[in-house]
Chains A and B, each alone.
Chain A
Amino acid sequence: MNLVETFFNVDVFLRTWPLLIEGLWVTLQLGAASIVAGLIVGLFLSLFRLYGVAPVRVIARLYIDIFRSIPVLVLLIVVYYALPFVGVRMSPFASAMTALTIVSGAYTAEIFRAGIEAIPKGQFEAAAALGLTGPQRMRDVILPQAVKIVIPPLTNNSINVVKDTALASVVAMPDLLKQATQAQALAANPTPLIVAAVIYLAFLWPAVLFVTRLERRFGARSS
């Protein structure tokens, strides 16, 4: 067998393609759900951390620090294999989404916090002086400006979440990587893995380029 037949076997490719597309669909669902849930968790965490009463601030901070220190894979295994012992039994999808959301929420919280803290004090004061309440100041004045600033780091984080979905294959989740390794075993040929790599690239490279472009544009404006 030569190199092309081993790694780029057209016959294997055609046979396993439907399996990979199924896996891709699962990966995209898991990625999108975890990104959205992580954004919501992160936004509230950042607000608790910045403006909560003292005990709430401490809890938010602990959450953020702890879940940024734990490897996603470890957390995923705990959620899927350990929680059933205390009566919490979740499907592979729910387990994976829970683990990814918890971790993504912690990172997103730090991103939002940095964004909010980057808004000049005068904006908070002007909004307060007009009689806007705390939540109105956030919603109408601060967050619209902060979100613009944090789009590049948020996109980066989203790319990481999509890549981390591959860890879900550990808990028998039929995502892209799981399907690829399974197809590889069935066909006794690594072509499906290579194809899976190309699919990841096809989805994430444009996102990476998008971040680079945004960062360059923001950088150019601020200088």
Chain B
Amino acid sequence: MAGFVSIRNLRKSYGTFEALKGIDLEIEKGEVVCVVGPSGSGKSTLIRCINRLESFSDDSTILVDGTPVMPGRALAKVRAEVGMVFQGFNLFPHLTVRENVMLAPRRVRGANRATAGEQADRLLQRVGISEQADKYPDYLSGGQQQRVAIARALAMEPQVMLFDEPTSALDPEMVGEVLDVMRDLAGTGVTMVIVTHEMGFASQVADRVIFMDGGEIVEAGPPNELLGAPKHPRTRNFLSAVLNH
């Protein structure tokens, strides 16, 4: 049975280097999937393919809710249903925090200013940033910026949320506040695909953990199995390297 996000034979090369070597992955509605693995394993490339920020081979297929993720006019429509949170936040510096959250609902969904503003304030409250709504992103800490970025993505009421190493660029003391917001979100039944190095978070929140290495999925399973009793030696090596530091 096809999942809500259905990835089949996903291949991508940079010149002769194969970044993704034919990934097959089905993600169910409401599922929280964490993708772990060493850097250069292709995990970021994988989730950037889901909304086609990265192009991929023509014989690969990605379906989101049955719609193929193909270049062309329909792509913006698919992207509107797929929220993304980046490692580097990527807030719009010329807009206030509230305007950052309001922009896409107004432009893409045609929401009016009042509706979009109320929704933005609701979301900002949910991620704990209400007091900063009229500030510009540059005046916020990294943790606050990332929480705004989550609110901005949620404003489109996406079917799927993609997180590309959302805490990797943060100072250690700010990681927790962002993970808390994500944990709350996971509890609301949103489908989430999270590339992360936070093993503790993955083990608590994920329904399924996927270990990638060398552009392939090496092993996948529930967190207690994959993180607790990994079968594959590459998984074991990676986990012991991560956990012993």
Query: What is the 8 Å Cβ interface bit string for chain B, positions 78-118, against chain A (1 contact, 0 not)?
Result: 01111110101011111000000001100110000000000
| B156: chain A residues within 8 A (beta carbon) | 130-131
Say whether B90 contacts A130, CB under 8 Å.
no
Among B51, B83, B90, B149, the one with the most A-chain Cβ atoms within 10 Å of its Cβ is B90
Nearest chain A CB to B60's CB is how many angstroms away?
20
Known contacts A130-B79, A131-B77; is-contact A136 B107 (Cβ 8 Å): yes
Asked if residues A128 and B88 are in contact (CB atoms below 8 Å), the reply is no
Excluding A128-B76, A130-B152, 14 further A-B contacts by CB distance (< 8 Å) are A125-B53, A125-B84, A125-B86, A125-B90, A126-B86, A129-B51, A131-B79, A131-B80, A131-B108, A132-B103, A132-B104, A140-B107, A141-B92, A148-B94
| Residues of A in contact with B (beta carbons under 8 Å apart) | 120, 122-123, 125-133, 136, 140-141, 144-145, 148
The yes or no answer to B62 lying at the interface (CB within 8 A) is no
Asked whether B94 lies within 8 Å of A128 as measured between CB atoms, the reply is no
| B153 / chain A contacts, CB cutoff of 8 Å | 129-130
Q: Which residues of B contact A130 (CB under 8 A)?
A: 79-80, 103-104, 108, 152-153, 156
Return the contact of B108 from the options A120, A125, A132, A144 (Cβ within 8 A). Answer: A132
Known: A136-B107, A140-B103, A140-B107. A129 touches B83 (CB 8 A): yes
How far apart are A134's CB and chain B's nearest CB, in angstroms? 8
Pairs of residues from A and B, 3 with the lowest C-beta to C-beta distance, nearest first: A131-B80, A126-B90, A130-B104
Contact residues of B between 159 and 199, Cβ < 8 Å to A:
none
Asked whether A145 and B94 contact (CB < 8 A) given A130-B79, A130-B108, A131-B104, the answer is yes
- The residues in B between 106 and 139 inclusive whose CB is less than 8 angstroms from any CB of A are 107-108
Query: Are A128 and B53 in contact, CB atoms less than 8 angstroms apart?
Result: yes
Q: Which residues of A contact B86 (CB under 8 A)?
A: 122, 125-126
Of the four ranges (under 10, 10 to 19, 20 to 34, 35 or more), the interface on chain B belongs to: 20 to 34
With A131-B108, A131-B156, A136-B107 in contact, do A126 and B92 touch (Cβ < 8 Å)? yes
Contacts of A122 in B (CB 8 A): 86, 88, 90
Number of cross-chain contacts by CB at 8 Å: 61
Main secondary structure of the interface of B (DSSP, over half): mixed
- Nearest residue in B to A131 (C-beta to C-beta)? B80
Q: Which residue on A lies nearest to B149, using beta carbons? A: A126
A129 touches B76 (CB 8 A): no
> Which chain B residue has the least Cβ–Cβ distance from A130?
B104
Give A13 Cβ to nearest chain B Cβ, in Å: 49
Give A132 to B104 CA distance when docked, in angstroms.
Answer: 7
A129 to B50, CA, bound (A): 10
Chain A residues with CB under 8 Å of B88's CB are 122
The closest CB in chain A to the CB of B82 belongs to: A129
With both chains docked as a complex, state the minimum distance between the C-beta of A196 and any C-beta of chain B, in angstroms: 41
Contact: A129 with B107, CB < 8 Å? no
A127 to B84 CA separation, bound complex (whole angstroms): 10
- With both beta carbons as reference points, the residue of chain A lying nearest to B104 in the complex is identified as A130
Q: Are B90 and A123 in contact (CB under 8 A)?
A: yes
Also in contact, A145 and B80, with CB within 8 A (given A125-B53, A128-B53, A132-B108): no
- For residue B11, give the distance in angstroms from its CB to the closest CB of chain A: 21
Interface centre among A123, A131, A136, A148 (most CB of B within 10 A): A131
Which residues from chain A contact B82 at a C-beta distance below 8 Å?
A: 129
Nearest CB of chain B from residue A31's CB, rounded to whole Å: 29
**Closest approach, in angstroms, between the C-beta of A146 and any C-beta of chain B?**
10
Q: Which residues of A contact B76 (CB under 8 A)?
A: 128, 131-133
CA distance A140 to B103 in the complex (A): 8
Tell me which residues across on chain B come within 8 A of A123, comparing CB atoms: 90, 92
Q: How far is the CA of A145 from the CA of B138 in the complex (A)?
A: 14
Report how far A54 CA is from B107 CA in the complex, Å. Answer: 29
Q: Name which residue of chain A comes closest to B51, CB basis.
A: A129
**B221 CB, nearest partner CB in chain A, Å:** 29
User: What are 22 residue pairs bridging A and B, where the CB atoms are less than 8 Å apart in the complex?
Assistant: A123-B90, A125-B53, A125-B90, A126-B84, A126-B86, A126-B91, A127-B92, A128-B76, A129-B84, A130-B104, A130-B152, A131-B76, A131-B77, A131-B79, A131-B80, A131-B108, A132-B108, A133-B76, A141-B92, A145-B92, A145-B93, A145-B94
